Every structure is written in structure tokens, then in C-alpha cells.
Structure 1
Amino acid sequence: MIKYSLENGMTVLLQPVEGVVSISVGLWIKTGSRDERENERGYAHFVEHMLFKGTSQYSAKDIARIVDRVGGQHNAATNREYTCYYINVVSDFLDMSVKLIADMYYNSLFDDDEIGKEKNVIIEEIRMYEDTPDELIHDVFMECMLARHPLGHSILGTQASIKGTNREKLVGFYQDHYGTDNVVFVIVGNFNIEEARASIDRYFQGSFGRTDGRLPTHDPSPGKIRRRHIPKDLEQVHFCLGTEGLKRDDDSRWGLYILSTILGGSMSSRLFQNIREKEGLCYSVYSFHSSYKERGIFGIYCGTSPENYDRALELILKECRAVVETGITAEELEDAKTFMIGNLALSLESNEVRMGQLAKNEMVYGRDFPFLEIAQKINSVTLDDFNRIGHYLFADKELTLVTIGKLPSGVEDVASIRI
């Protein structure tokens, strides 16, 4: 992997890959929804939309046609801590891809008419999300776990915040957060390094944006809402149960990844086998861990019918207690390690996955984490490490519980849950 910086402060990462015919080109901004002020909810995501809505050279339709007519894929994503724009194409179109992303980055118009239309699009996206309970519940869970913390609010914003924005506000956010020194540009795949550098030098010459408007990194102590229920007329009760996890730079995180794999991260996991396969109580049940610079969240999701809700919750709590009281076997530990390493190896056959991993590692750690180093970190986890993580998560911990749907009649709705 080649890493260098442009005079304008932009970081560039290049990783040629043999045996493929394509490239993945990504522009990553070290800004997400956690960088929004109270009166800017949803702006990071709105700006992401606007970079596809026309530049001084290309209309929104032109941007779509340029990529579509060569069989490529282009998209973007806004996270809590970053925003990404990417193009996947056959290697012959490297220069076109760099030029297009650079034009979107430097020259987007933020046209008033387009902003008006996009408000409606995003409001419909919010409504769609609110009608998808197995996705909505993760946002509500984050809001409860990180109440009053910048990480806790929805990436999409609210209908009110979207309706209340305008061109001046969006351009201001864009200029404050999209400075060239806040950008990581990545190319992965089958390409010539000299040609790639020439294209980057050609299209990313100028400095852009200002940095004085960025929020300083801060980590206010979040409040916690231990119980929330959203009544909806649904066939299932969707619920998330969880507690504090680990920050993304915590050295113990590898043990937590293994714990999540064993508890609910695969088809052979304890939750999947005992709740779905053995009891037949649900279609979907899994554990997850979301790690950020300042905080980490560990959770378990399940969707089940109202009559099965109490039993499913009881069994999930039983598995959490078992992690603390009886731990795991050496065989489970080794199986989880080989699962994680094999899963990572398969994922890295995708240029897009490689591109994203390079960018995120650079933004988080300032360096790459090669496959062999990650494998070594995973293999170094011991049973004692696992037990420490299990006790950290669950021993005498009060958990947060979020439910969406119709709670069963005759079942007491607890105010709090403790393992």
C-alpha cells in the first residue's frame, strides 16, 4: 500500500491488486452525524445527497449516466463519524472516476430547486425508515444508550430539521467540514500507480473548505434511558437489549469481537442455535458491537411474535448469564477465531471492502492494519481475555431494553433488566 499527502493536505492511499479487472475509488470525509450541532441534525447526510445533484460541469443525470454507461456502480454513505463517496468500475475508467469524484467534491452547485426536491426525498427516506422496525430499532437503541451525546441522534435527522434547512446552512456545513485536509482518497484494484497519481494530481490540485468551523472533539457524559417502548401495529415485537461496549482503539476489542461471534455472530452461535434452531422462536436474532472514537455499544437484536416475546427475552438473558457464569470452551474459542479470520479473508476479495478498510483504518489509526496483523490479534485472545470481557459486559450490569410493536397482554413490562 502506498500512502502520501498532497500539498492541499489530502491523504492518498493506493493499493494495487492483481488478478482483478476492476477498481474501487473512494473519497472519504472525516465527518459524520456526530459532528453536527444541535441545529444541524441530518446535515451531513443531506450534503451527501447534494453532491450527486449537479456540478458546474455535470447535471445530476449526467453524473448517473457517466457511471451507468460503463457498467459501473456509484454511491455514498453517511455514518456517525465519516462520509464516503465511491465508484466501482472496470480499470479502463480510472481517470474518468477520479475526475467525476473530484468534480462532485469541488464543484457541486447546491441548487435551490434541487435542495427543495431533495428535502422531500429525504423526508420519504425518514418515513421509509420509520416503517422498517428492524432498522428503526437500532437508531432508537443508540438514542437510549447515548442520550444527549452527539453519537446518539439519528443520521437522517428529523422531518422538522430537514424542512428547516436551506442552501446557506447546507453550504456552510459543507465548507466547514469538507476541507481537503479532512479527506482520505483511496484507489484499490487493478491499476497503474503512475497513471493513478497523474489523475489525482490533475483533478485534486486546489485547497478547499475551512477548518475553523469544525466542532472540537468532545465526549460529554451520555445519559442512559434504560427502557423505551414504541407501540406499533406490527406482527412482531422487535427488541434490542444491550450495554456499553468498547471504544474502537481499546486493545481488548478483539476479545469482544470473539464474544459477539460466539454469542450471536454466526449460524452456529449460541443465540441462533438455541433461540431459532432449537426453540423456533424467531427468524432473526444476532449480537452486534458498534465502536466509535469515544464510545462503544454492545447489543442483541431479536424479532418475534408477541406470544413468544417473553420466552425469547428469557433465553437471551440466560445466554448472557452463561457467558459470565460458565464461560466458553476452548473449542468454541478456536472456532470463533477461524470463523473471523476466514470471513475477513473472503471479504477482502472485494475491492470495495478493501478500499473501505484502508480508509477507515487511516482515519481511525493513521495506518493500515494488514490481514496477517489482524489474524495475529484475533489468535492472541485467550480464555482469560474472553472471561474478562464477559464480566465487563454483563456482570451485575443494568441493561437497556428497547421494544417496537405490540407487547403481549399479561406480560409484565419491566422497567429495567439486570444480568
Structure 2
Amino acid sequence: MLKIHKLSNNLRIVAEKSDSVKSFTLGIWIKAGSRNENLINNGISHFIEHMLFKGTKKRTALELAEAIENVGGQINAFTGREATCYYIKALDEYLPLAFDILSDMLFNSSFSLEDIEKEKGVVLEEINMCDDSPEDVLSDLHTYATWQEDSLSLPILGSKKSVSSLTRDAIVEYLDSNYTPERAVISISGNFNEEKLLTLANTYFGDWKSNSKSSIVEYSKPTIHHNFLHKDKDIEQLHISLGLKGYPLGNELGYTSTLIGNILGGGSSSILFQKLREELGLCYSIYTYTTAYNNGGTLNIYAGLSPQHGAIAAEVIKDELNKLSEEGITPELLEITKKKLKGSYILGLESTSSRMFANGRNILFMDKTYSQQDIIDKIDNITMEKVNKVIKECITPGLLNGAFVGNTSEINQVLTVIKN
């Protein structure tokens, strides 16, 4: 049973109860991520996520962790381009404790100057670690190739320069502007008493107020750029990410786009996996993935392979995209892929954590959410007409942008193939 509530301060609560489990996952979502930043404060959303674990007026960092872990629970958080989420998973009897901990972190974090300087070192090491990962470098590079100067292209971790220059005043100001009840959602999935849940929400979050610095952010519509970028890196493999047009979050063709992506590179039976890995033996890893933001989205292809195979792989990918554009898919393949999607979606939504994530994200960005049956219905309603429309709009225009990480000489050969 899924219900939506709203407190008097406009804080939304989405609650999905399940009597078949003895646990819950409770999350507080904030509509603030790297897309809300600029070049000067880039990384501040992620930095604040770190700082909320560094201690409050009544608990040290260790005490925050022990409070949940000592009862067998888990506490964690993540920052994305458009949101930050703090969450706790624990046995159902510890729901009051979870509310106490999350509210303490949000409203009472100390942000001491000493902790801020220490955590800068931690985040800088995280940036260094990502710089050593070709996949992470590729992801940020392709994001920039796609969105260019739009804030959507800013790296979630920030740059070494921007993180090093963050001040306590900037952190507090950002919190005041973005951490407000109307820009937040409490999402819970699992076993809980609804009346008790609402009492706890009012007790711990009912006095949360906005202030004069808070504002509703309206994102500008980003332009998808035609651009190919590369970074020379002395590594064994060549990493490729190629971009096609996609759809924004909530678009009616979103599930159809996911279906096309699944057919292209969604598993070991997909077109690109069978062709590049099984038939030609050109790579180990090849798959597609979608990105869907508030008013923009892409369908992307990733491949990791030996440098000498890059140009051949690019040619095969182009050929398969052209073939899909010209021939489309059969009704039989449509029905088979629908079954695959329904299976993967439902299996992926059966844990309390995955339901909390899905419901929280949907309420935060679209002010609505979907039951498992709603998702099944949306997939069942994918028609050949919708498939052909997505192919025409997303596949037929061809590759719009991309990023490459590896040896420059090999990358140039791939670019020659793609641009011809």
C-alpha cells in the first residue's frame, strides 16, 4: 500500500508499507545536486553530504555511526546531479531512532572549521581516486561533451580548486537556500505503523521552516551538443562512451527508450553484446545505459576494449544503429523485450531500499510515483508505433557525441570512423 502525505510545512512523505518484511528503509531526499552549483562552488552538494556525517551538537561522528550500526542497521548517503539522499535501513522497531538520527544530522550538524578542512582532504583523495579510474574519467568527460557549459555537466565531486576553496559561510548559505522542506521528500518502504510514522515525521521534521534565502530552482532546458572529446591516458584498454538522443525524466516515451536500449545493449542476448563480444570477440564489456534528468536525457553506449579493436568496434556499432534505424524490430522481439523489462524492473524493486529510492525520486521530481502494477502497465502499453517513433527520433539521427579515454593515436582512428 503506497500513500502520500504532506506536512503543514509542505514537506512531502511517500510511504509504501509491506507487512511481509521486518525492516524498513527511511530516506530524506533533498532537491540539490551538482546541477544547482556553479564553477566556484562546484562540489558543495557532495561536500555537505560528507559533512553531515562528521558530528552534531549532541553526537560525534562515531556516535552517529554506532547508533545505527550497533542495532544491526545501515546508514549511508549519495549525491547525484539533481538530488542528495540520506538514508537508514534497519529493523522495524528502530524507526524512532532512524528519525532521530536523520533529523539530528540535518538540523544540528556542527560544520566545525577543523572538520571542514579535514574533509577537504578526504574529498580531494576521492577526486584523485576517480582520476585513476578510466570509467569515472570517461563519465565526466562524456557528460561535459553532451551538455557543455550547462550546470548539468559539472562533476558531482567538484574540482580540486573548487573543493579546496569552499568556506563554512558558503556551506551554510547553500544549506539555507537548498535544504528546505518544500525541496525535500521523506520516503519510507517496509514495515511500519502509519500513525506512528506521521507522528514521528511531525515530531522531528514538523518545525522545519524555509527562510528568505530559499528559492524554487527552475532548470533551464539544456542543449545536447554534437561534440567528441578524449583524454590521453596510458592504460591497457580503450574506453568509449557514445551518445544518442534520449528523453527527460517522466517523458511518455521513456520506457520505450529503455526498451530500445535493452535491445541494443541490455544483456548478453542484446545486439551489440552478441555482435561485438560473442561473434567478433572484440571486447569484454559492452552495454547501453540511459540518463534522464528533469528536462533532458540521453541514450548511451559504453565499450571497453583493446585499443587495436576500437575502430572496428566503432564501425560495427554504426552499422548496427543504421540497421536498427532502417529495419526496426519485429513484433516478436517487442514482446520478448517487454517480458525482459518487466522481470528486471520488478526484481529490481523488490527490496525496501530500491522501493524507497524509486518512490523518493519520483515524488521529488514529478510529485507522483508508481506502483509495481503501474510499471508493468506502462511496459505492456509499449506499441510498435511508439518503438518506431523512438527509433526515428533517437536512433536515426545517429551518434551525437562521445568521449574516449586511452591512447590518443588509437582514439583518432575511432573518431575517423565515427565522423565518416
Q: Which residue pairs with 2:194 in the alignment?
A: 193
Distance 1:30 1:80, change over 3 A: same
Q: Per-residue CA shift, 1:24-83, capped at 9, x if unaligned?
A: 000001111111133221111111111111111111111111111111111101111111
Aligned equivalents of 1:164, 1:31: Cα separation in 2: 20
**What pairs up with 1:43-192 in 2 under 5 angstroms?**
43-192=44-193
State the one-letter code of the partner of 2:395.
Answer: F
Q: Counterparts of 1:58 and 1:339 in 2: how far apart (Å)?
A: 47
Letter in 1 for 2:293: Y
TM-score between the two structures when normalised by the length of structure 2: 0.95
Rounded to whole Å, the distance in 2 between the matches of 1:209 and 1:165 is 23
Tell me the equivalent position of 1:232: 233
What residue number does 1:280 align with?
Answer: 281
2: CA distance, partners of 1:39 / 1:29:
21
Q: Is the 8 A contact 1:398 1:416 kept in 2?
A: no
- Asked whether the equivalents of residues 106 and 208 of structure 1 are also in contact (C-alpha less than 8 Å), the reply is no
Give the distance between the partners of 2:247 and 2:278, measured in 1 at CA.
30
CA distance in 1, matches of 2:137, 2:226: 16
Matching residue's letter, 2:337: A
How many Å apart are 1:215 and its aligned residue?
6.6
- 8 Å CA contact retained: 2:127, 2:160: yes
CA distance in 2, matches of 1:38, 1:215: 20
Q: Is the 8 A contact 2:290 2:299 kept in 1?
A: yes
1:376 aligns with 2:372: no
Hey, what's the Cα distance between the residues in 1 that align with 2:411 and 2:355?
A: 50
Aligned equivalents of 2:338 and 2:223: distance in 1? 33
> Following the alignment from structure 1 to structure 2, what is the Cα–Cα distance between the partners of residues 353 and 20?
14
* 1:329 to 2:336 alignment: no
Q: Distance in 2 between matches of 1:58 and 1:11?
A: 27
Distance 2:83 2:227 in 1: 28
In structure 2, the CA distance between the partners of 1:160 and 1:386, relative to structure 1 (3 Å rule), is same
Q: Is the 8 A contact 2:30 2:85 kept in 1?
A: yes
Higher deviation after alignment, 382-391 or 70-79: 382-391
Cα deviation digits, residues 271-302 of structure 1 (max 9, x gap): 11111122221111111110111111111000
Distance of 2:414 and 2:293 partners within structure 1 = 31
Match of 1:3 in 2: 4
Cα distance in 2, alignment partners of residues 102 and 411 from structure 1:
52
In 2, distance between residues paired with 1:416 and 1:409? Answer: 11
Assess, with a 3 A threshold, how the Cα gap between structure 1 residues 115 and 328 changes in structure 2: closer, same or farther.
same
The Cα offsets for residues 360-395 of structure 1, whole Å up to 9 and x where unpaired, read as 111122122111122111111122321221121132
Q: Could you list the runs of 5+ residues in structure 2 that have no partner in the other structure?
A: none
Distance 1:346 1:253 in 2: 19
Deviation above 2 Å: which 4+ runs of structure 1?
207-216, 220-225, 396-399, 407-419
* Distance in structure 1 (CA, Å) of the matches to 2:409 and 2:38: 39
Per-residue CA deviations over 1:184-216 (Å, capped at 9, x if unaligned) read: 012211111222222222212312343644473
Verify the 8 A CA contact 1:400 1:417 in the aligned structure 2. no
- The residue aligned with 2:316 is 315
TM-score using structure 1 length: 0.95
For residues 216 and 22 of structure 2, what CA distance do their matches in structure 1 show? Answer: 41
**Counterpart in the other structure of 1:386:** 387
Indicate the residue corresponding to 1:395 in structure 2: 396
Gap change, CA 1:375 and 1:92, over 3 Å in 2 = same
Alignment RMSD, CA only?
1.8
Gaps of 5+ in 1: none
Q: Which residue of 1 aligns with 2:357?
A: 356
